[in-house]
Amino acid sequence: MHDPADRTSPGGVVKPALGVSPTIYDRIVSELATVLPNEGCGVVGVVDGAVTSVYPVPNIANTPDRYTMDPGVLVGALRTAEKLGEPIGGIYHSHPDGAAFPSATDRTTDVEHDWVHIIVGFAPNVPVMRAFLFVDGTVVPVEIITSVAMRP
């Protein structure tokens, strides 16, 4: 994937990173754009630090300021990913009129805090994707590396 030394801060700390191929990047942004002006959401399979699959999940809240994943579709995605050997390791959602940064609601209500959280902000009409981890109440940025080779 990516040499961890390239992500080492001056203090010697390795920054977390997530591989997202250009194809998957475009797919996530496209899926989220189709449900604007409401928030879109879904989950992603992650293997060896890279997103390998995308599972859109309908937002049953159907609002522009929050999401609630359809439980039946979410369970189906979890089962499919397990069968494929690509465990779910991340959540993605959009901020239709906001920045790609976790809101207070995101930090307190997201499903799995040990998963990476990908947020696509659509304000000001140019999609920006960022990723984060939530660690002990702290938002930790995760570098998105788009120059990853995907497995066959």
Amino acid code (one letter) for 107: R
Q: Three-state DSSP class for 143?
A: strand
pLDDT at residue 111 in the model: 57
Closest CA to 69 of 96, 91, 52, 100: 91
pLDDT at residue 152 in the model: 43
Beta-carbon contacts of 103 under 8 Å, excluding residues fewer than 6 positions away, are 95
Provide the token pair at 130: 């960022």
CB neighbourhood size of 3 (10 A): 7
User: Strands 138-145, 17-19: parallel, antiparallel or unpaired by DSSP?
Assistant: parallel
| Structural domains of the chain, with CATH | 19-145 (3.40.140.10)
pLDDT at residue 13 in the model: 54
pLDDT at residue 108 in the model: 77
Cβ atoms of 79 and 88 within 8 Å: the answer is: no
Q: Give residue for tokens 């040499």.
A: 3
pLDDT at residue 4 in the model: 34
What are the pLDDT tens digits along the chain (152 aa)? Answer: 333 334 444 444 557 999 999 999 999 999 999 999 999 999 999 999 999 999 999 999 999 999 999 999 999 999 999 999 999 999 999 999 999 999 888 887 655 667 899 999 998 778 999 999 988 778 899 999 987 554 44
